[in-house]
Structure formats: C-alpha cells, structure tokens
Amino acid sequence: MSSAPSQSESVELTMDGHDILFPKLPYDMKQRVQGATNNAELQEFVNSATRMRDQMRINGCKDAFGENYDKIRTLAGNIKQHTLDHLDYYIEQFIDNATAAGTNVHYAADAEEANAICKEICQKHNAKLVVKSKSMVTEETNLVHELEAIGVETIETDLGEYILQLDHDAPSHLVTPMIHKNRASVGRAFARELGVEYTDDPGELTKIARRVLRDKYRQADIGMSGGNFMIADSGSVVICTNEGNGRLCTSVPPVHIAYIGIEKMIPSRKHLPVFLKLLSRSAIGSPITVYNHIMTGPKRNAEPDGPQEQHIILIDNGRTEVLKPETREMLRCIRCGACLNSCPVYRKVGGHSYGSVYPGPIGALLTPVFKGLANYKDLPYASSLCGACYEACPVKINIPKYLIQLRSDLIGGKHDKFVDRMFFKMWALSLKKAWTYRLAGKMAGVFLRLRNKGVKNKNPYLNRGWVEKVPGPAAGWTEKRDLVTPPTKDFRSWWDEHQKSKGGK
C-alpha cells in the first residue's frame, strides 16, 4: 500500500457529473476546451489511451478481415440502414415476439416518459435497491438521479461507471467511460467513499469493487441494463459486456428493466455475428466481447436463473426526428467508440468538452440533432474533417459529410454570429475564381508577415519567424499555438519558376 497522492498529482474533477452532461444551454464549448487544453495530464491520459486503442482496432481488424474489412463494414452499414428504412415494421415484429416470450414492452416518447415508466415499476415492487449495467441511454434520461430522488439506491456495476459514480463524475468515452482518470484518483475515491485503505494498485481496486458489488447483486430488487442490439424476429435483447456485470444485473434480481433506444434493432439472429465480430474489434481490437448475453423473455419455470419479470422500455427521445432520410444514417451507430479513438480533436480535448452524453465525432453530430443546433453551435466545428472517424466507423457513417451539413445549416439558419457568416461568405467568394483565390492568398500572406514577431526557432526549414496572435474570427488558430510566417515567395511562384527551369534544361 502507498500513501494517497496530493490533489495536484492527478487529474481532479472540478464539476459535478450532472453539470458536465447537462450544461446550461446554449452550450459554450470553448470554456470547457480551455480547461482541457490547459490540463497536460488529462491530454496525456486521453491521448495515449485512444492512440493505443485505435492501433489495436487497426491491427485486430486487419488480422481478422484482411482485404475484406471494407466489405464487412459495408455489410454492417447496409443491415443497419435497411432496418432503419423499415424501422416501424421491425419494431412491431419485435414487440409481438418479445410479448409472446413473456416480456412487458413499453414505448417512451421522451426521457420523462421513460423514467416515469421505470419509476412506476420500481414503486410497484417497492424497490429500495437497483443494480445497473452500463447504458448510454440511461445517461441520456438522467435515470440514476431520478431514481435516487424517489429514494431508490441505484448502483452502477460496470467498474468504470462505478468509479465515476463514487467520484460524482461523468463518463467521457462511450466504451471506456473513465478514460480521463488515473488510478491515483480512483484510489482516493475508494478510500473516501468506501472507507478502505488507500491503494492505487489496479488489481486491489478491482477486488474491492467486486467485494462491494457482489453483495449489491444479491440484495437488489431490480436489475437494469441497456441493450446493444434488439432482434426483431425473436424479440431478444443482446447485451455485450467484458466484465459479466450485465449478466449479473439481468439474471440475479427478480425484475429486469432494459432501457433501449429504438435504433438498436436488427432484423434477425443471423445478422448478429456481423456486429459481434465488428463491435469489440472496433472498440478495443479484441476478437469478441467476453460476455454476449442474449435474453428472450423472463425465466421459464424449468430454468434455474433469470428474472421472474422483464420489462423493455423502447426509447425514442428525438430518434424519430433523426430518422428522416437526410439524417437517418446517423442512427446506424453501434456505440463502439472507434470514431472517438481515431479523432485528433477528441484526443486533445477529451469527452467532457462536448457537454453531452455522446462525446467525440458521433456526439458532435447526434447532440445538436437531438438537442437543437442553436444549443450546440460549436459541436459541428469540433472536427478537423480529416475523415479518420469515417474510416474507423464499422457501420460506415459518413460523419464528416454530416458535420459539413450541420455547418451549412448553421450559416443558412443564421445561428452563427454575423461576423462568422460574413467571414465564410468572403471565403466562399474567394474560392469561386482563380484570381480571387490568388489575391486572397497574397493578402493573407502580407497580413501574416506584418504580424511576424521575429525568429524563435533555429530550425533552418522554419527560419521565417512566428505569428503569435491573429485577430478576429481566426483568433482561435493562435490561441494555443503559433503560426509559421508564410514565405515571401508563395508556392505558386515557386512552382512556375521550377517548371521554367525544368523546361530550360
């Protein structure tokens, strides 16, 4: 055992988890980004963990699929797109089959309705303790706070989520929710909240969590889960976890409630292997998630385990709006987190900067669409549009295309500031003709050279000085770094001269 490190030795939370996910609207991303970009430790954790997982995805997918990788992504995307194109049909089929298997299926139009159904079930069973496996949609509806408010103790059982709950923190990644934390802060939270001796040994911390959680499973009145997939032709729910906590939550307590977004549907069990092969490989590079739990109805009489009562709450909460043809593709998402791991912006600013349950590139799309573009005007710009997210996505969601669409909606919808709109109008004008483009380039070069603050770098290739600050709409470019001063001879003149000298030979 070692002694607890001081606050300054690790990344500490300064905001309550609820405020991180549900900020005051309209959301100002820049404020949070300032905190993240000034926090070298946070950047180190997030950057190294995401780079490692991204490389594991690349290696895992290459080993498994070789040159067929693109084909299986296309197939997965097509299955999801087909299901979304006929979602009403598949939802009806799912409800019929799940009901026939003994499940109570509910439909909730929004978060309030979903939570009201859940609270009613809890009250009917006089529930005092709920154990819960990881579910992004329950974060969306703020379920834990709602249950706690009516006196139902609700315990997260995914290890990462459990740690966050103890620390009053919020998830910052779809798959690895505590990617922004180090083991010292986990040790401190355990010592403070559980009264155990401080340790930062991961094995010891896991043992402590297991000891506490095992009892909770046994005592719980209700087990809650999300669902990775719903299978229409059998009425089954599929839960994929690496810790087995999903299986314990759904099998040990007498009542099971599953919260699932309506987009999680697939037509048939025969389609499931395509997604099981892609989900874990895209998330962490491993061939398959450790526990893949397929549930069809509550426990039958002859079965030794399982809940006596099962409820599935199908949640819309803005999804039918996204289902319109122009944005439907966004709902293919299987929440693998690969787009987050591959994104240079996410690696730099971390998940809390996005101010919502869904961080990273897919969050930059879904959050403005779910919660209003005017409320999240910064998110469509939280991307370099490099396309890494599109390449990583196992269901081929063209994230950059939709980010550009949202940017265009912002300009067209007058949600942006007047000065920004003018800036983009001028930029568009300058790109329309070769001579205006050339003139704009020359003027930008002159402007930047006038702001040159002298040579700071002895690198002979960059021996042109640096621009420390540019004003106006471009100010963000120099907020965290300097720009190299453009050379007096631009590329076009160099190229012309080069061609002439070649022709002269």
Binding pattern to ligand SF4, positions 264-293, x when CB under 6 A?
A: ------------------x-----------
350 is a contact residue toward ligand SF4 (CB under 6 A): no
Site membership for ligand SF4, residue 339 (CB under 6 A):
yes
Among candidates 313, 343, 467, 325, which has minimal Cα distance to 405?
325
Q: Which is nearer to ligand SF4, 282 or 485 (CB)?
A: 282
Query: Tokens 């919660």 — which residue?
Result: 371
State in angstroms the smallest separation of the CB of 143 from ligand SF4. Answer: 21
Q: Which token pair is 55?
A: 């490389």
400 lies in the site for ligand SF4, by CB under 6 A: no
CA atoms of 143 and 152, how far apart (whole Å) = 11
Nearer to ligand SF4, 252 or 395 (CB): 395
CA proximity to 36, closest of 285, 347, 302? 347
Task: Give the number of residues in contact with ligand SF4, rule: CB under 6 A.
Answer: 15
Hey, which residues between 229 and 268 contact ligand SF4 (CB under 6 A)?
A: none
CB 392 within 8 A of CB 342: yes
By CB under 6 A, residue 61 contacts ligand SF4: no
394 binds ligand SF4 (CB under 6 A): yes
Which of residues 189, 392, 403, 467 is near ligand SF4 by CB under 6 A?
392
Shortest approach of ligand SF4 to residue 189 CB, angstroms? Answer: 27
Of 333, 349, 373, 467, which lies in the binding site for ligand SF4, with binding defined by CB under 6 A? 333
From 316, 266, 313, select the one nearest 294 (Cα to Cα): 266
Q: What span, in angstroms and rounded, lies between the C-alpha atoms of 36 and 479?
A: 13
Q: Which of 180, 299, 335, 407 binds ligand SF4 (CB under 6 A)?
A: 335
Q: Pick the closer one to ligand SF4 by CB: 248 or 338.
A: 338
DSSP for 31-59 reads HHHHHHHT-HHHHHHHHHHHHHHHHHHHH
Q: Which of 147, 127, 298, 129 is CA-nearest to residue 220?
A: 129
Beta pairing, strands 483-484 & 466-467: antiparallel
In angstroms, give the least distance from the CB of 330 to ligand SF4.
8
Stretch that binds ligand SF4, among 53-61, 245-253, 393-401, 405-413 (CB under 6 A): 393-401
60 binds ligand SF4 (CB under 6 A): no
Interface with ligand SF4 in residues 194-223 (CB under 6 A): none
- Annotate 34-51 with b (16+ C-beta within 10 A) or e (fewer): eebbebeebbebbeebbe
User: Contact between 337 and ligand SF4 (CB under 6 A)?
Assistant: yes
Quick one: which H or E segment has residue 92?
A: helix 87-100
77 binds ligand SF4 (CB under 6 A): no
Residues 380, 410: contact at Cβ < 8 Å? yes
Residues 147-186 that bind ligand SF4 (CB under 6 A): 174
- Give contact residues for ligand SF4 (rule: CB under 6 A): 174, 282, 333-339, 362, 392-395, 397
